Amino acid sequence: MASLHILIVSQYFWPESFRINDLAVGLKERGHHVSVLTGIPNYPTGHFFPGYHVFSSGEVFEEIPVYRVPMISRGQSRGLRIIANYLSFALSSSLLGPMRVRDKFDLIFVFEPSPITVGLPAVILKKLKKIPIVFWVQDLWPETLVATGAVKSPRILKQVDRLVRFLYRQCDRILVQSRAFVDDIHAKDIPHEQIYYFPNWAESFFRPLEPAECTTEENELPKGFRILFAGNIGVSQSFETILQAAELTQKNRELHWVILGDGRERERVAEEIEARNLAETVHLLGSRPVESMPRYYAAADVLLATLKRDPVFSMTIPSKIQSYLACGKPIRTAIDGEGANIVREAKAGLTAPAEDFKTLAEQALRLFETNKLEREKMGQNGRQYFLREFERELLLDRLETIMQETVFPQAAKQQEEAFQEDALQGEEKPCAA
């Protein structure tokens, strides 16, 4: 394949922990020239990371040039502050991006876990540089705004929908992290042939580990049976479901709910743990470096994923699912739709409907009583499913093909025509005796 010059546009990038970091490195490893236009790292704490300030201009990450633009930090991720965070990056990167990234590029790759406004600077750069856009949708807008309660005004939601439709129409390819997204995007007047299923994967360091490799993490966790949740502590994750389930299992002092992560709901969750007298069985341990997570997973007995009950979340595959599967541990979910279907198809654990805290508690107790060999079999099933469906190199192969076809559409068309002609000639040849 031809080497491409790729510009990644993302509001989030290293040292923030997002899959786009590994995607950039993966493309670089395959011989492509990669640059990144991004903001100042402040997710999920809401404060600029140590060593960064509002006017930090850039650096190099894994031999990849990173161009940063000024922006307003998230703060508590509420109200006008989060709107200012989203719009400041969109405006700043639209105005300063063309001056920061002066090189010639073959393609713009947009990473969109929210907000959709990340597409605005990409469209401007597309017009200036006359190159195509590949847009990777992680969150559906405006549906996500409705589901989280962030926006309730029908007038504002209508304007956001218009913006989404405009941005999608400017894209040459739209990638979706869940197959359930396809119909939603097609309904916004995007042809099916421009929409590609491209799920998340897990970085190569997510793998099964032996207990001897995890002694430090083992000692950090409470003694007993550990159900571990890792990731963002936000509205979407429905921590009320976890706390209600923990109340029902509270009498079993051997069963512990462990939460590793940070986010806008952390303070409220901490207050609820105290108010409900759950401190002995629910443990809010804070965030850890992403590279260390496989060791915590190995030290846990079960890995947990939860989401709110909402149609848009039922279409979403939480990215932690791929990481959990990769590490070969049994999975426990309280989610609807695509994410739950994957766990069931993989035979990797037990699932309950979103927000069903009673079933979550019952199945937690069932897994506690399940034979360890049976739990290990669930983990092995998950690992094998991951290797078939979500393995990193497999998906990077798929992405490279999409990018090449986007940059060189005529060559792709000729290749397809040649393939069809060969197939036709093959059909016309007589069978050998």
In a domain, 187, yes or no: yes
Tell me which residue range forms the domain holding 21: 5-201+391-416
Q: What is the pLDDT of residue 211?
A: 81
Q: Is 421 exposed, middle or buried (0-12, 13-18, 19+ CB in 10 A)?
A: exposed
Question: Would you call the peptide bond into 44 cis, given omega within 30 degrees of 0 as the criterion?
Answer: yes
Average pLDDT over residues 353-369: 97
83 has pLDDT over 50: yes
Mean confidence (pLDDT) of the chain: 93
pLDDT tens digit string along 371-389?
A: 999 999 999 999 999 999 9
**pLDDT confidence of 229, banded at 50, 70, 90?**
very high
Is the same domain home to 252 and 297? yes
In a domain, 423, yes or no: no
**pLDDT confidence of 427, banded at 50, 70, 90?**
low
Percent of the chain with pLDDT over 70: 95
Is the same domain home to 264 and 373? yes
CA atoms within 13 A on the CB side of 31: 5
Entry pTM: 0.87
Cα 214 from Cα 211, distance rounded (Å)? 5
Bridge partners (DSSP) listed for residue 107: 6
230 has pLDDT over 90: yes
**pLDDT confidence of 431, banded at 50, 70, 90?**
very low
Bridge partners (DSSP) listed for residue 230: 260
In a domain, 106, yes or no: yes
Q: What is the pLDDT of residue 43?
A: 93
CATH of residue 129: 3.40.50.2000
Look at residues 38, 99, 112 and name the one whose alpha carbon lies nearest to residue 70. Answer: 38
Look at residues 244, 246, 342 and name the one whose alpha carbon lies nearest to residue 331. Answer: 342
Look at residues 326, 362, 322 and name the one whose alpha carbon lies nearest to residue 342. Answer: 322
Q: What is the pLDDT of residue 278?
A: 98
In a domain, 430, yes or no: no
Average pLDDT over residues 277-290: 96
| Number of independent structural domains in the chain | 2
In a domain, 433, yes or no: no
Show Cβ contacts of residue 314 under 8 Å, excluding neighbours closer than 6 positions. 180, 335, 336, 337, 338, 354
Q: What is the pLDDT of residue 288?
A: 93
Q: What is the pLDDT of residue 433?
A: 35
Q: Is 251 exposed, middle or buried (0-12, 13-18, 19+ CB in 10 A)?
A: exposed
Is the same domain home to 108 and 18? yes
422 has pLDDT over 80: no
**pLDDT confidence of 425, banded at 50, 70, 90?**
low
Look at residues 256, 269, 263 and name the one whose alpha carbon lies nearest to residue 228. Answer: 256
**pLDDT confidence of 105, banded at 50, 70, 90?**
very high
pLDDT tens digit string along 295-343?
A: 999 999 999 999 999 999 999 999 999 999 999 999 999 999 999 999 9
Tokens of 92: 């700043």
Q: What is the pLDDT of residue 132?
A: 98
Other C-beta atoms lying within 10 Å of the C-beta of residue 152: 9
Bridge partners (DSSP) listed for residue 229: 259, 304
Q: What is the pLDDT of residue 8?
A: 98
Is the same domain home to 165 and 282? no
Q: Is 373 exposed, middle or buried (0-12, 13-18, 19+ CB in 10 A)?
A: exposed
Is the same domain home to 367 and 411? no
Is the same domain home to 191 and 300? no
Look at residues 59, 18, 4 and name the one whose alpha carbon lies nearest to residue 36. Answer: 59
In a domain, 431, yes or no: no
Is the same domain home to 380 and 397? no
In a domain, 232, yes or no: yes
**pLDDT confidence of 410, banded at 50, 70, 90?**
confident
Q: Who wins on pLDDT, 34 or 152? A: 34
CA angle 365, 390, 194 (to 5 degrees): 125
Q: What is the pLDDT of residue 179?
A: 95
Is the same domain home to 239 and 363? yes
Is the same domain home to 243 and 305? yes
Main-chain phi, psi angles of 14, to 5 degrees: -45, 140
In a domain, 225, yes or no: yes
Is the same domain home to 192 and 227? no
Is the same domain home to 123 and 225? no
Is the same domain home to 197 and 229? no
Q: What is the pLDDT of residue 432?
A: 43
